[in-house]
Structure 1
């Protein structure tokens, strides 16, 4: 029996761990406040999520598996973007569109059990969820795990009609609906081309922007993994642009889990042996479109920089296989690399507790692809950034962090986005060796102090809950 004030929620993320993890953190915080949350995904993805504290589980937080339909061309067992080569997720979107019927059955079963949701919180590509929800008189909210500034750069359908972007070069200019002094735009042709692709038809049958625009038009609220301290004024702008409330949910960082010596990972034990603030942590996520040349130039750049580093080399699907599954000795890494950096560098290809590694006292900086989740984690621990962005919102985030004075970007070719070892080494030394790095670190620590206010972060969730209560009964869009 639902108690007074309790909300019945369904959260339904896109099939990428960079989305599922913040959705899980949001679900945990809602559950901790006494609300019932059903987390919907596919069986294999649910099995790969990090464990949830028992006190938050049934009946408050439960996991609902929906079987992903088969799609020609999608590898057997692929249920997330981590199971695919980077940039090959359109067939996964097509498969996810096939979850419409199972999701409808789930809602029917929920209603029959007296658990009709008060809200469905869904992701950017779920353009088919709001029509199903409307049939059951359930409002929808979109939860965006990218930066709010990126959503403002995309803009709603009406703004793109008034200020059309037709040529690739249009994406290298600040949109006409962004008020000054904003200078948000892509700087390089390769970055602008990747964004222009989002406006074109793809193998899923629906362009990424059509998904986003339709979703925005049919949801009642938009929610963001962000806060005013990081993106001041952006939520008021988005409320005006999207013509509905834009609500920040805070940074939603997963907790640092303490481990005893026996359960401590090899990475953390290695960091234990390094001097304070002497290591640059290197991680480009699991979906960066890396080539073997990229990896070799990054490796040789780290070697040339002459500093201690911990490199989390996630397995890019298809790349390790091309190298015979071998990391070194003629495989993914340059010949003899691991021998030459022994003692001051470590390459880890398995799972790494990233939050704990970033929080470690030996970690002094973060070389990152500037995914929003990783950038948020750098904020939490006051780490200056060496930035190597690739696609979607990453270049815009890198530019914003450079403007905040907390990071430097690896020099890139303006046409194709390529980089070399000398550029990597120079950027790493600017942050880890030169006096400039001390200034960057000081600014990063000031931001950390602001975000360390847990009372303020929890207040964002409380404010979100109030919005969910207030707009629940306003009539479906």
Structure 2
């Protein structure tokens, strides 16, 4: 393990969404193990996320800055999870108002950080770093393929041939395997861009701030996305690109990750313990997505018709306008599937569930953290991408032969008969090809983080880079 004699001081700035913050905090743990001195910037209501790190690492210090007040975000909300759908843009804009408080803190600090590592949605910190004459590094909680597409979109701003056609295909011919997406699958922030509009141009500037930053750090691993890592180095024009994943919780942190309590985790484990290996389908759509009642109905019907055993972590709506129209389990469903189906209302200990031998498939929205957790556990996926980077992630799973598409789009409905067939197949003897591929990727994922693995070495190289003044 590389140990920095200088103990270089680094500022870590996570974006306040659970799927973004947790992997960057996992990376921070790895950096602290290698003797870096670290300050983490958070707003008051997100300070509790740092508690496990602060207990383990006295070299980590929180920088707590008041959340900028804004009309677009309800009072007291400082985390995207508590915002209405589409809250990312409002949060990005609000956090830009931390620019001057951060600048003042740097200038008053007796030994300020020599570099900034911040989330992809905080591209404006590159401008701040330039003003301070220090480098900024991008942390991507998304995969390399997804970020390759995002960087292309914001750099090239592909024009529309037909302004009314959301199905128009956008091709990315210079990216390996030439991915192509319907326009409606691209980032909504890009699709809403209006040339000349001040907010749109500022948002584009945030994204381009990533492209011109000193380097990229990905929560991925070389064996998973080698061709896309090589492409990103070519696209950026330098080799300061590090794949340091999968960033996953330790064994002792698996149950608590995401807020699940010990009693619930124990009940879930006891339920899963009843079943043979690889015979249960785990269903979860992450911390953000809430299904409409019609989607819930079609999903429940597919699960019921499949006859398969399943564990469904169903997120309930958190905002008033969604209550009654989203997230309702169909009446009588739980009784009809009693014994072979378990429904957990709210967050479940996902890493622990995926690691259980009884789980043989994962029906997922293809959020990158979920994808990596399933890959590390060796579990094939049934994919229902809904937005953001999820379509690119599902494409990657298709390419790797560990994913089977069951639906796509946040408003679309799965065909319950087709869904039932795919669910049944995912835990039957027909699953062997994808199951075998998943096991190969799992071995590669776990090996990458062991001593002398590709990701282990990448973290060491990143620390050496941050600690060498000549490289900065």
Cα distance change, pair 139–366 in 1 and its aligned pair in 2 (3 A):
same
2:459 to 458, 461, 464: 461
Mapping of 1:15-164 within 5 angstroms? 15-48=16-49, 51-52=52-53, 54=55, 56-58=56-58, 60-109=59-108, 111-112=109-110, 114=111, 116-156=112-152, 160=156, 164=158
Instruction: Give the equivalent residue in structure 2 for 1:306.
Output: 307
8 Å CA contact 2:13, 2:41 repeated in 1 = yes
Task: For residue 74 of structure 1, give the secondary structure of its aligned residue in structure 2.
Answer: coil
Structure 1 418/170 Cα, relative in aligned 2: closer, same or farther at 3 Å? closer
For the pair 1:439 / 2:428, whether they are aligned, the reply is: no
State whether residues 265 and 349 of structure 2, in contact with CA within 8 Å, keep that contact through their aligned partners in structure 1: no
Report the alpha carbon displacement of residue 420 of structure 1 after superposing the two structures with TM: 2.9
TM-score by length of 1: 0.86
Deviation by residue 1:421-456 (Cα, 9 ceiling, x = unmatched): 2232122122122x3312211110011111221221
Asked if structure 2 preserves the Cα contact closer than 8 Å seen for 1:379 and 1:447, the reply is yes
Shift in Å at residue 349 of structure 1? 1.9
Assess, with a 3 A threshold, how the Cα gap between structure 1 residues 408 and 236 changes in structure 2: closer, same or farther. same
1:8-56 CA-to-partner distances (Å, cap 9, x unmatched) read: 11111112110100100000000011111112122212224673373x3
Gaps (5+ residues) in structure 2?
Answer: 256-260
What residue is the counterpart of 2:443 in the other structure?
A: 449
Stretch deviating more after TM superposition (255-264 or 4-13): 255-264
Mapping of residues 256-295 of structure 1, within 5 Å = 256-257=251-252, 264-288=265-289, 290-295=291-296
Q: 1:185, 1:396 within 8 Å by CA — same for their partners in 2?
A: no
CA displacement at 1:466 relative to structure 2: 2.7
Q: Is the 8 A contact 2:14 2:118 kept in 1?
A: yes
Please report how far the alpha carbon of residue 159 of structure 1 lies from its aligned counterpart in structure 2 after TM superposition.
5.4
Aligned residue number for residue 424 of structure 2: 429
Is 1:381 the counterpart of 2:377? The answer is yes
Q: In the TM superposition, what whole-angstrom CA distance separates every residue of 1:379-427 from its partner, at most 9, and x where no partner exists?
A: 11100101010011111111111121111010458x9743232232122
With 202-211 and 278-287 compared, the bigger mean Cα shift is at: 202-211
Instruction: Report the secondary structure of 1:380's partner residue.
Output: helix
> Any stretches of 5+ residues in structure 1 without a counterpart?
none
| Residue 95 of structure 1: how far off its partner (Å) | 1.6
Offset at residue 320 of structure 1 (A) = 8.4
Moved more, 314-323 or 118-127: 314-323
User: Does 2:191 match 1:197?
Assistant: yes
User: Distance in 2 between the 1:81 and 1:373 partners?
Assistant: 16
- Asked if 1 retains the 8 angstrom alpha-carbon contact of 2:12 and 2:38, the reply is yes
RMSD of aligned C-alpha atoms? 3.0
Deviation at residue 282 of structure 1 after TM alignment: 1.0
**1:281-360 correspondence runs (5 A):** 281-288=282-289, 290-318=291-319, 322-323=323-324, 332-360=328-356
Structure 2 residue matching 1:427: 3-state secondary structure = helix
Query: Residue 154 and residue 90 in structure 1: after superposition, are their counterparts in 2 closer, same or farther (change >3 A)?
Result: closer
- 2-side partners of 1:445 and 1:63: how far apart? 39
Q: Secondary structure at the match of 2:315?
A: coil
Alignment size in residue pairs: 455
